[in-house]
Amino acid sequence: MASAGAVTLGRSPYFRWGQLVLGIIAMAMIANLQYGWTLFVNPIADKHGWSRAAIQVAFTIFVLTETWLVPIEGYLVDRFGPRPVVLGGGILCGLGWVLNSYADSLTLLYIAAAISGVGAGAVYGTCVGNALKWFPDRRGLAAGLTAAGFGAGSAVTIVPISMMIKAQGYEAAFLYFGIGQGIIVLLVALFLARAPEHKRGEGPVAHVQQSRIDYKPSEVLKRPVFWVMYAMFVMVAAGGLMATAQLGPIAKDFKIDGVPVEIMGLVLPALTFALAIDRVLNGLTRPFFGWVSDRIGREQTMFVAFAAEAVGILCLYQFGQNPVAFVILTGLVFFAWGEIYSLFPSTCADTFGSKYAAANAGMLYTAKGTASLLVPLSSALSAATGSWHAVFIVASIMNAIAALMAWFVLRPMRRAQMDASRVDGVPAASVGASASRV
């Protein structure tokens, strides 16, 4: 039976779509904490004389706190519902940026980064977890749309932030956008609701097989299938980051970073064009592949996407010296990479149930933090070998291994897990067979 405060099944069937939109808005409001940071680095360095390396430590702190604390925040969502967690996250996100505007020491800058990271993780983990619970029949699409809010959410506000930095200084941008974004997250939180806990025979129909048992986080950690997903997540995330995080140096070494490229009437320097495509495709790929996985299955979609990423990385290295090919192939690499933030959460919820979906998906999300720790190895590998050849080969191999694991390892393991979760001989896929879909 659903706990107190749970939304009843008597809600309008469209209510859950409103919940999804609210989650997307909240995600867009925290996107600048990660994707807008680069705009502030040089102004901070110019004012205080701090090294860029020292300033970027703040970003590392943000990523680690934003990632590694999501399981705890997910546990709070499962326990108390989304509203209080997002309320707290919105306050911390706003507070972090306000502190950035007053930071006159690296220590205060680092503290602000930690506060921002905790807040962003609370909002991210809650919104993704809530989407998984509200859409058991369309988890891939729902998680993908929610993650797209974070991946592409900064596109609308990057220009205004940049203009304010130039006109009024970075302190004003931190202060006013921090307060504004925080207030919007707080308002969104007030309207968030806990998803219902469906009984057998209730709820929307899913095309993919799902667990009939709700596994607690402590139980999930004991399941080998979880660690297979974790390893795959790390490989794909690290493989993609190793290729994409070094786009600037790669384009410079290819001597094409400033070469004008014209595609469909738009003319931009090759590197600028590639980075612009990143913002667009990094957002589009998440709901697209999520929707595909809802139709044909998670592992099948993983195999296609990860294999495309492996081929795209190889082609980027082989043909990337051509400016037009560099832009197009970069687009392919980004498009085949960003879907991990929709495929893995939905696969996790399918495998381990809805009740603890936020905490379980949060544990899996820490793979992003693990992968980020491996990315600096790409610079060391390039320096040791004197070229980018080894970096591209390693990144491609990691994606190829993940693609093969999706089909030959994860697929049979998840099937066995699903068989183990049958209740009274009723397969998970039959849940809600009589319910209508919205």
Q: pLDDT tens-digit profile of 176-229?
A: 999 999 999 999 999 999 998 755 445 565 678 888 889 999 999 999 999 999
Distance CA 201, CA 203 (A): 7
| Residue the block writes with tokens 């099944």 | 9
Same CATH topology for 15-190 and 217-420: the answer is yes
Q: pLDDT confidence of 4, banded at 50, 70, 90?
A: very low
Full-model pTM: 0.86
Instruction: State the CB neighbour count (10 A cutoff) for residue 336.
Output: 25
- What integer is the mean pLDDT of 371-400? 84
Distance CA 226, CA 104 (A): 44
Does residue 23 register a pLDDT over 80?
Answer: yes
What architecture is domain 15-190? Up-down Bundle (1.20)
- What integer is the mean pLDDT of 244-273? 82
Instruction: State the CB neighbour count (10 A cutoff) for residue 373.
Output: 13
Q: Quote the pLDDT of residue 369.
A: 86
The CATH number corresponding to 217-420 among 3.40.605.10, 1.20.1250.20, 1.10.3720.10, 1.10.620.20 equals 1.20.1250.20
| Closest CA relative to residue 44, chosen from 112, 105, 96, 118 | 105
Name the DSSP class of 155.
G
Domain boundaries, the chain: 15-190, 217-420
Give, for 319, the enclosing helix (H) or strand (E). Answer: helix 298-319
* Cβ contact 287:335 at 8 Å: no
Distance CA 152, CA 32 (A): 10
**Is pLDDT larger for residue 317 or for residue 221?**
221
Does residue 2 register a pLDDT over 60?
Answer: no
The identity of residue 29, as a single letter, is M
Q: Quote the pLDDT of residue 199.
A: 52
- What integer is the mean pLDDT of 97-125? 96
Percent of the chain with pLDDT over 90: 61
Q: pLDDT confidence of 262, banded at 50, 70, 90?
A: confident
Q: Quote the pLDDT of residue 240.
A: 76
